Structure 1
Amino acid sequence: MKPVTIRDLAEAAGTSIATVSRALSGAPKVGRETRSRIIHLAEELGYRSGNHRKTIGVVLPSVEVPRFDAYTATLQKALTLEIYRRGYRSIILSFEDIELLNETLVDGVLSFDFLGRIGRHWPHIKSLPLVCLNDLPNNLDQVYSVASDELQGMKLAVDYLVSRGHRRIGFLRYLSPKFWKDIRRQTGFLAAMREHRLESTAFVELYNTQSDYNALGALLDKNVTAIFAADGESSGARVQGILQQFGKRVPEDISIVGWESEQLSNFLRPRQTTLAQNFPKLAAESLNLLEHLMDGTPHQKNILVEYQLIERDSVAIL
């Protein structure tokens, strides 16, 4: 098939070649509606300039969840490094600004807005390849996911705690149903406890930003010896701080397993034992999958990436 030229695109858009060039390059003095129409036609006709470098759109988490700054920064860094290592360009935008993808020519999109909605609505937003990171896929519409394996991670951590003599274990989770990964983690926690026949001593407490003190107190009332802080990289530090308010020492009085944060976990006192997401592998697998989708390779599948347990000082041997 003959490649689509900029002249072909200008004729299809009913504009001059200069207008098409300005629209595709992001130059000013092109109306928003005209730019959007030209971009749509370029995607539809498969236009690519002779020196085209593929451009990847990266959708950040919604501003609804500002507490996940460390997670966002770490995953964004891993994605950016992988994108540029492969010779691509990137356009980074928040979920709230997703309509801006209609004003630039991108070849594929990576999203790590984790509230379970972008994959479901994507066919109504854009006709571009999309890979969701740590978010729900929509395989019926060819939207696939690369995610950390929450069930494997929780089994890894429960097995570790049980091997160190813990039997009464608490699980602290943010109550929002939007945080579907926390719900998956809870499912994995309860399943792992059942495998050890400890379902009667598996305790779950939900909290919001105003009730974490009370939820943690409820777990302490159940005489748990260890607690999972399940809702993100800063949760373990927050739990350690609240335990100090209760007069509890870590790990002498109670043990903690949190989620790894390179900015926090190794600098807490005691240093915190954590489950760590493999961010470089998440980034690499997501780009592998997106490249297949951009090339039109059929029969894709969702990918799970295993957690790693980082053993430090916050878990006692009973």
Structure 2
Amino acid sequence: MRKKSESGIRQIAELAGVDVSTVSRALNRRAHVQPATAARVFEAARQVGYQQKPLRRVIALILPESRTILKWYSINVLNALRLEAEQRNWWLEIISADQIELLNERAVEGVISFDFNNHLAEKIGSTRNLPMVCINDSARHIDRVYSVFSNEFQAVNLAVSHLVGYGHRRIGMIINGDPESYCNRTRHEAFDRMMRVHNLSAFAECVHGKHSPGDPDSLVRLLHGAVLRMAECGVTAIINTGESEAASVLHSLEVCRFRVPEDFSLITWEMVDVSKFLSPPQTTLCQNFAELARRAFDTLEKLVAGEPVCRDTLVDYLLCDRSSVAIPPRGR
């Protein structure tokens, strides 16, 4: 005697004019079922009164390329998205940016990407009819691709204003990562603007984009050089961008025999559960990862439901005021 569920699936197959395996794939939202066929299957299931256990919805989560080592930023974004997905009853299909062809073999309702190197809004949005949200990367609204950004202008404004409040007049910024990425271009523009607002000279240098991936010490040498050049220019405070390089620039200052904050004040990006334990405890700018994840899912769920999304979303940074900022040394 056939089980009731098997009998129901056969009824659906006969009514929809497809085979049993197609019914199974459609009901379980697997790939390789044409939308029109899936619609017939769901209508047939409704007519025969077939009931199945509710399925968890699935979205694709796009990480940076496989060769990219996930560091502080990526790990924090990934953890925040995993926790938010669990709260909202979503399953995550995790795919690296160099494996997006796998989307052709997966049945997903949408995409969240936090790849920051490949401009996936253009690659995915223009070729696949999937709602998509990019975290800290450009959007493509014409293809239903929207972005959730950390507010880089607000972050740099916080840092510069904090240093100016301590009396610093010669402030430098070390920019880590690809200088052409959205975040770094925005940070550089914000720094130049804030320098003009306060009538100060800007000392900005991009180092990470020049280092050799095969030589991990090359970044350290570049940071040493940047610190020494800023010291020669009379800089008294440094803003160092990027979570993964926060400890590196502190190390470079120590190697160059500069004390923090006696010789140099320092503001870095927050390494969660680490920055506060460095010596001295670091004053930092912290991305609100939980809020980035929440807003990303809010936007994606609207897109999946066919609801209008009016704009991209900005999420403010938090300033963690600790012990690495002080008044400038006398005579500088």
Same-fold call, TM cutoff 0.5: yes
Give the length in aligned residue pairs: 301
Pick from 96, 101, 106: which aligns with 2:103? Answer: 101
1:147-226 aligned within 5 A: 147-174=149-176, 176-198=178-200, 201-207=201-207, 208-209=210-211, 210=218, 211-226=222-237
Tell me which residue corresponds to 1:113: 115
Tell me which residue corresponds to 1:62: 65
Tell me which residue corresponds to 1:253: 263
Q: 1:262 to 1:299 in 2, by over 3 A?
A: closer
Whichever residue aligns with residue 112 of structure 1, its letter is F
Flag the structure with larger Rg: 2
RMSD (Å), alpha carbons: 2.8
The superposition leaves residues 97-143 of structure 1 with CA deviations (integer Å, 9 ceiling, x where unpaired) of: 22222222111111100125100122344211100111111122221
The superposition leaves residues 136-172 of structure 1 with CA deviations (integer Å, 9 ceiling, x where unpaired) of: 1112222100010101110011011100111100111
| Contact 2:57–2:90 (8 Å) recurs in 1 | yes
1:235-250 aligned within 5 A: 235-250=245-260
The Cα of 1:299 is off from its aligned counterpart by 4.2
Q: Name the CA distance, whole Å, in 2 between partners of 1:43 and 1:148.
A: 41
Pick from 271, 275, 283: which aligns with 1:265? Answer: 275
Q: Name the CA distance, whole Å, in 2 between partners of 1:298 and 1:46.
A: 27
Tell me which residue corresponds to 1:30: none
Q: Name the CA distance, whole Å, in 2 between partners of 1:285 and 1:314.
A: 32
The Cα of 1:23 is off from its aligned counterpart by 8.3
The Cα of 1:293 is off from its aligned counterpart by 0.3
Q: 1:264 to 1:295 in 2, by over 3 A?
A: same
| Contact 2:9–2:23 (8 Å) recurs in 1 | yes
Q: 1:14 to 1:186 in 2, by over 3 A?
A: farther
The superposition leaves residues 60-94 of structure 1 with CA deviations (integer Å, 9 ceiling, x where unpaired) of: 1224542x511111111111111111122221221
Q: 1:6 to 1:52 in 2, by over 3 A?
A: farther
Q: Name the CA distance, whole Å, in 2 between partners of 1:282 and 1:47.
A: 37
Q: Name the CA distance, whole Å, in 2 between partners of 1:100 and 1:10.
A: 28
Structure 2 residue 310 is the aligned partner of structure 1 residue 300: yes
The Cα of 1:42 is off from its aligned counterpart by 7.4
The Cα of 1:46 is off from its aligned counterpart by 9.2
Structure 2 unaligned segments of length 5 or more: list them.
1-7, 43-50, 212-217
TM-score by length of 1: 0.85
Q: 1:44 to 1:164 in 2, by over 3 A?
A: farther
Q: 1:85 to 1:293 in 2, by over 3 A?
A: same
Q: 1:54 to 1:166 in 2, by over 3 A?
A: same
Identical positions, percent: 40
Q: 1:9 to 1:176 in 2, by over 3 A?
A: farther
The Cα of 1:19 is off from its aligned counterpart by 5.3
Q: Name the CA distance, whole Å, in 1 between partners of 2:129 and 2:96.
A: 19
Q: Name the CA distance, whole Å, in 2 between partners of 1:6 and 1:134.
A: 44
Structure 1 unaligned segments of length 5 or more: list them.
27-34
Structure 2 residue 297 is the aligned partner of structure 1 residue 287: yes
User: For structure 1, which segment, 17-26 or 85-94, has the greater mean C-alpha deviation from structure 2 after superposition?
Assistant: 17-26
User: For structure 1, which segment, 115-124 or 145-154, has the greater mean C-alpha deviation from structure 2 after superposition?
Assistant: 115-124
User: For structure 1, which segment, 208-217 or 111-120, has the greater mean C-alpha deviation from structure 2 after superposition?
Assistant: 208-217
Q: 1:177 to 1:317 in 2, by over 3 A?
A: closer
